[in-house]
Amino acid sequence: MTNRRDFLKKAGVATVATVAASTLAAPAVKAANQTIKWRLQTYAGAPLAEHVIKPAIDAFNKAANGEMVIELYNGDQLVPTGELFRAVQNGTIDMVQSDDDSMASPTPVAVFGGYFPFATRYSLDVPVLFHQYGLNKIWDDEYSKVGVKWLSAGSWDPCHFNTKEPINSLADLKGKRVFTFPTAGKFLTRFGVVPVTLPWEDVEVAVQTGELDGIAWSGITEDYTVGWADVTKYFLTNNISGAWIGSFFANPDRYNALPDHLKTLLNLAMDSSHYYRQHWYWGGEAKLRVQGTKMQLTTIPDAEWQTVEDEAHVFWEEIAATGPVARQVVDIFKAYNADMAKAGRPYRFS
């Protein structure tokens, strides 16, 4: 009985001590379990963000179950798109969705983000180039050098012209003031196009006021989604690229601080975003050409358009001459497209 009483006394003391310790430790435990909050800004305006990013972020927040919340901001909402790189580098924003070109990335790969002329023909070209032809390692290496974590690349829509006046020949492009991406605009100046840079949200009004003659920023799906099909009458079926290349980026310190299971969840969310765009754009581009009622389709004859494709390869070599990384990327584009041409249908039809 004495031993039993001693045991109970000691157990009681231990229990009190345990409760006291846990009570004292409670604030520290609570702090450790506080919800992680990130701010993500996309390049896209609100109507487009509803498709290219919001479904994936909503799914992530739900699956994270209170452990982490990503707050989504649309194009230019926190900082101008051209300042996104610096913002994620210095931690003003935790994560970014953009092409390298638009966010003024100070890397040799910046010119290849967005629409690098004729580098891709179909949307599936983009993930294959990154996962099977080595672009993922190049992007990861180059962003590591400048203090930003590159996370994942995916494809968007092809690049077409939608204009106020019909485009039926290359001559019709001369003098046209067009909203487009930096590198695509640089290339299009060879055909008399005048590239214009504006905030994304100002584009529709600029077309209406005559500041712009057209847009070379998207395919027909975006034209209908964001309202540009309401202010332009014509859609050119020729395109200068088969798919836009965009990526997700993060501040490296914030990313490295995430537990592994949230990093995995983030990767799954990005893959979900890439998959959604694949079918949304692919189906939308065809359906709206056939069933859309807002824009008339025009086409530049293949023989004439071939001169644009030929000039793109001259442009590639000029970019490759700017440095070893650019040379490496261009060589990958050349090798990949040669493989696709040799593979034949359905990879390439000509």
Q: Which residue from 97, 110, 89 is spatially nearest to 325, judged by alpha carbons?
A: 110
The total of other beta-carbon atoms located within 10 Å of residue 342's CB is: 9
Predicted pLDDT at 349: 84
Query: What does the domain layout of the chain look like in residue ranges?
Result: 36-156+244-284, 159-241+292-343
pLDDT in tens, 274-331: 999 999 999 999 999 999 999 999 999 999 999 999 999 999 999 999 999 999 999 9
Predicted pLDDT at 32: 58
DSSP string over 274-327? HHHHHHHHHHHHHHHHHH--SSEEE---HHHHHHHHHHHHHHHHHHHTT-HHHH
Predicted pLDDT at 43: 94
pLDDT in tens, 2-43: 443 443 444 444 444 443 444 434 433 335 579 999 999 999
Question: Does the model's pTM come out above 0.95?
Answer: no
184 neighbors 197 (Cβ within 8 angstroms): no
Residues 6+ apart with CB under 8 A from 199: 75, 76, 80, 81
Predicted pLDDT at 19: 39
CATH architecture of 159-241+292-343: 3-Layer(aba) Sandwich (3.40)
Predicted pLDDT at 106: 97
d(CA 229, CA 222): 9
Which one is the CATH code of 36-156+244-284: 3.40.50.300, 1.10.4190.10, 3.40.50.620, 3.40.190.170?
3.40.190.170
d(CA 273, CA 341): 29
Q: Which runs of consecutive H residues, i.e. helices, occur in 65-123?
A: 84-90
Residue % of the chain over a pLDDT of 70: 91
Predicted pLDDT at 350: 66
Q: Which residues of the chain carry a pLDDT beneath 70?
A: 1-32, 350
- H/E segment holding residue 236: strand 234-241
Fold match between 36-156+244-284 and 159-241+292-343? yes
Predicted pLDDT at 33: 73
Q: Are strands 245-250 and 177-180 parallel, antiparallel or unpaired?
A: unpaired
Residue % of the chain over a pLDDT of 90: 89
